[in-house]
Structure 1
């Protein structure tokens, strides 16, 4: 295991979730279930050295179902690894964190709820980012100038039944446009089963959103980071030695070099 990376929004949420647990949480893996606390993989396949941080203009807000932060296969964690502008909140039906409401009300952001448009009233659905401006005082004089808001993508990090529940039971999201994606890709996510090939994992959705916002390098890096994580995860599960010189690792190195 390497030196641990600094905690981010999802790792802090996971720590808070563990503190509330009445019994220890033990993920499977290794002779005694030992996993790196920095990347959640078993120690022989630690992923921490490959963490790549890429600045973005867009932000990601994760609304996470109760047990998502505890799952080693959760990919919301990967988004927070790569994108500094990531926030994460646990979802509950009867309460909402004041910090989440403050974020959604922050005038620098234009929130979009990312959700399939087929389940939403048509007047709320958009397929691309909507130009929006807010008045802001100029630093050079006292007159107001129009400054474009930054997109904030709200991702429901949950199983599909849980995501529908979060969408339908969160009235504070009703005021925001729903961004309906129509990706031309088949999900490459192999760590959990889905009945449909067009169901993308949370990290794949975030990469598409970042690309829409013009954060091309961040989008490409996140996609490559997911590929490397998947490789480590599956090799650990199958007890296969890593090959850090293969194509997926080299692709991530090339993108990481562009960010230096």
Structure 2
């Protein structure tokens, strides 16, 4: 604390600032690299104490995309004034999206005092630019006269429930640990807890803060890794190849082929196999795609030319991914001949791991067409699914698949895809 007073603001250079209350703090402000700063606000040395009804109102979720010029917009000005009035001993106030922001990626949630238009608490939630399923919580602020009444916890929980994202993260003073733990957050200690790009950004900010003899902790809130649903759209020839790897993600097939009954993937992965034998199957595949509960995402070897948000704001569903399963030549042929795939959102995996699959070296020329490293950065089907689970922070299941692939290659041909004799089920629900 600057002087030990509850609610004082502690500034960390130009990029990070925290408002620290007591252990059950009602006020937290975090700003990472400032995108937009209001003109320097006046220093507030005294604030009048205004009474507020004890029965606090429900939260309002205020998408800034509804704001438009001119600046005189009452709601926008009210939020700006609220932050200015409740940041004591500071020369700046939290950055907010520009008034003409046109995206719901950035939202300010706030509470009003019942029976009036006075804002008593506010928080900003922003989708991470590289991992939109993660939402950054910042600028959580409570009116000075109303702190220590549980408003911070109330606002934070309702804002997260309203926003409906999968994961939330924030940077906070260590004194706020119990506050965030009570809200379901855990301290993230390594890049294994969050995507690498987010952890690197946090580490950079933390280093700047440490130079000023301050400390920030990284907190993340998420449920268990979300399950994935995968559709293997297999070329008919793939069913007869002993070197195929798609069967390794099927618990029953793997147990039957190896005689083991070890850890399963069932709780984290649902797999359906659709077989494509030619254009005659296109109509049936199009119907099955339309019957899915959400739009599937096509896993793409090249850099995806269409952006895809893994979890959009307010949506709760198990993502469904389509993998074209066959040789590189067959996969290219399937994509070219199945028009219903052309408009699907595409996702390119960011895994930098080189393929360890060595059983099949056919069609090297086709692999090079998809790759900048002569095919070495392209993965077999099992490796693709493992990388997909890694992207979902389910690395334990991803490593399980890699272990199965290693066992398969070490014991080939005694253990092979021919042990997987289950029929492809084009009607499997995912």
TM-score when scaled to structure 2? 0.35
Of 293, 318, 323, which residue of structure 2 is paired with 1:150? 318
Separation of aligned partners in 2, 1:62 and 1:221: 19
Displacement after TM superposition at 1:96 (Å): 3.0
Report what 2:340 is aligned to: 172
Matched, 1:209 2:394: no
> SS in structure 1 opposite 2:231?
strand
Report what 2:277 is aligned to: 92
Displacement after TM superposition at 1:94 (Å): 1.6
Of 226, 239, 248, which residue of structure 2 is paired with 1:78? 248
Report what 1:42 is aligned to: none
Displacement after TM superposition at 1:117 (Å): 3.0
Separation of aligned partners in 1, 2:390 and 2:293: 20
Structure with the larger helix share: 1
Separation of aligned partners in 2, 1:207 and 1:157: 15
Matched, 1:63 2:233: yes
Task: Name which one, 1 or 2, has greater alpha-carbon Rg.
Answer: 2
Of 73, 97, 104, which residue of structure 1 is paired with 2:289? 104
Separation of aligned partners in 1, 2:271 and 2:236: 18
CA contact (8 A) 1:125 1:177 kept: yes
Report what 1:130 is aligned to: 310
CA contact (8 A) 1:203 1:223 kept: yes
User: Which structure is richer in relative contact order (CA contacts within 8 A, separation 6 or more)?
Assistant: 1
Residues 243-254 of structure 1 mapped to structure 2, 5 A cutoff: none
> SS in structure 2 opposite 1:117?
coil
Q: Over aligned residues, Cα RMSD in angstroms?
A: 2.8
Q: Name stretches of at least 5 consecutive residues in structure 1 with no aligned partner.
A: 1-54, 134-145, 238-260
Separation of aligned partners in 1, 2:292 and 2:236: 29
Report what 1:222 is aligned to: 401
> SS in structure 1 opposite 2:357?
coil
> SS in structure 1 opposite 2:409?
helix
Displacement after TM superposition at 1:214 (Å): 3.2
Displacement after TM superposition at 1:64 (Å): 0.7
Displacement after TM superposition at 1:151 (Å): 1.3
> SS in structure 1 opposite 2:411?
helix
CA contact (8 A) 1:153 1:209 kept: no
Separation of aligned partners in 2, 1:152 and 1:112: 6
Report what 1:193 is aligned to: 361
TM-score when scaled to structure 1? 0.55
Q: For residues 168 and 69 of structure 1, do their structure 2 counterparts lie closer, same or farther at Cα, with a shift above 3 Å needed? A: same
CA contact (8 A) 1:110 1:132 kept: no
Separation of aligned partners in 1, 2:343 and 2:415: 43
> SS in structure 1 opposite 2:277?
coil
Q: Name stretches of at least 5 consecutive residues in structure 2 with no aligned partner.
A: 1-224, 252-263, 365-374, 417-430
Q: For residues 72 and 230 of structure 1, do their structure 2 counterparts lie closer, same or farther at Cα, with a shift above 3 Å needed? A: same
Displacement after TM superposition at 1:166 (Å): 1.0
Separation of aligned partners in 1, 2:337 and 2:299: 15
> SS in structure 2 opposite 1:89?
strand
Displacement after TM superposition at 1:56 (Å): 6.7
Displacement after TM superposition at 1:60 (Å): 0.9
Q: How many residue pairs were aligned?
A: 166
CA contact (8 A) 2:310 2:319 kept: no
